[in-house]
Amino acid sequence: MADTEDIINLNVTIGSISKELLDVQKALDSYRKNQDKVDEKGLEFVEKAELVIAKAEKGELELTEDQKRRIRSNLIKILTKMKTGNQ
């Protein structure tokens, strides 16, 4: 019975991580498609990415180092573009 419960809990955890990453990816895709609306779509990605990274750093969400690196890399690119676009 414990094995079944562990599998269910693991599936819930995987589902939660998948949803978080999917939200970040959707925000990034939306940003890329709407370059003319950099501030709005960029801000949406930044908010979602920061939330996911914060959860990962607190141990609430397990991400690979590569996933964290890619999210941070996109985050830096978008923040830089938003900063230079607003000057």
- Would you state the pLDDT for residue 71? 86
* Residue 75 near residue 49, CB atoms below 8 Å: yes
pTM: 0.57
* Residue 65 near residue 83, CB atoms below 8 Å: no
Mean pLDDT in each 10-residue stretch from start to end of the chain (87 residues)? 75 78 82 68 81 85 85 84 65
- Would you state the pLDDT for residue 87? 46
Q: Which of 87, 3, 71 is nearest to 31 (CA)?
A: 71
Rg of the chain taking only CA atoms, in angstroms: 16
CB environment 48-79: b (16+ within 10 A), e (fewer): bbeebbebbeeeebebeeebeeebeebbeebe
- Would you state the pLDDT for residue 81? 78
